[in-house]
Amino acid sequence: MSRILMSRRKFLRAGAAGLAASSLAGCDQFDFLRDRNNGVRQAMISVNELTFQAQRLLMGRDALAREFSETDIRQGQRPNGSTNPRTDEYLLMRNREFADYRLEITGMVDRPTSFSVAELQNMPSRTQITRHDCVEGWSTIAKWTGTPLKAVLDQVGVQSGANYVLFRCFDALSNGLSGPEYYYETIDMIDANHPQTILAYGLNEEPLPVANGAPLRVRVERQLGYKMAKYIKSIELVASFENVELGKGGYWEDRGYEWYAGI
């Protein structure tokens, strides 16, 4: 009898310890990690570099993202993030159906050039049915048509020492003290020259709609949606993105997301 009492007491004691441990869960014990400048958080986010190197090693330069068939397109491409930029500059252009839009290519290039959408459309195009993966966890399959970024970069001549392609955009998701905070993104030269990296002007056989980034958005098929800048205003070839905005290489990167979004 006494042995049973003992084991029950042990049982209760262990149970109480377990409860105490589980009440630790969540709450706000680990909310210090929300602070983007916290040292522990910064140490943790540095494994993103390991993820980047490991995936690059496994996939090599030109491994392709899965391409699907027409029958896999079962719905429209869900728009997300900015879906309707309201800046004067963009609205003016949009009213003229982007007739006077020109994509500026500047920075570390031999021949800084600008392209109209028609000029890009006259270059060889690529069409691909791919899966768009949002960082939130959902995916949709759609058909994208555009000009391979490599072809455009070959025309302007990328200088040695240029390590990143910087996309500056018309849309601003937030307003800071010094005005609208415009979307921007950077990818490295391997992704920039990847055969599936295109400046898309068409979606599911239609001109790219405003909600999905008209007149141009980039497709970077081996990464998540936030790398694929919409409403592209200009492209700049840079050696580093340290001095661009908050220095993390993108709008969401500046707000705590990983620069390499292959995962």
Question: Per CB under 8 A, does 178 bind another protein?
Answer: no
Phi-psi sector, 39: left (phi>0), alpha (psi -120 to 50), beta = alpha
Q: In the complex, what is the shortest distance from the CB of residue 233 to another protein, in angstroms, rounded to a whole number?
A: 25
Question: Per CB under 8 A, does 50 bind another protein?
Answer: yes
Q: Which of 135, 151, 173, 190 binds another protein (CB under 8 A)?
A: 135
Question: Per CB under 8 A, does 20 bind another protein?
Answer: no
The helix/strand/coil state of 224 is coil
Choose between 74 and 96: whose C-beta lies nearer to another protein: 74
Peptide bond into 215 cis (omega under 30): yes
Euclidean distance between CA atoms 185 and 226, whole angstroms: 8
Instruction: Name 153's Cβ contacts closer than 8 Å, sequence gap at least 6.
Output: 105, 109, 165, 192, 193, 237
Strand partners, 127: 145
Binding mask 236-255 for another protein (x = CB under 8 A): ----------------x--x
Question: Per CB under 8 A, does 131 bind another protein?
Answer: yes
Instruction: Name 19's Cβ contacts closer than 8 Å, sequence gap at least 6.
Output: none
Residues 142 and 77: beta-carbon distance below 8 Å: yes
Q: In the complex, what is the shortest distance from the CB of residue 98 to another protein, in angstroms, rounded to a whole number?
A: 27
Residues that bind another protein (CB under 8 A): 1-3, 5-6, 10-11, 14-15, 18, 25-28, 30-31, 33-34, 41, 44-45, 47-48, 50-51, 55, 58-60, 63-66, 68, 72, 74-76, 78, 131, 133-141, 221-224, 252, 255-258, 262-263
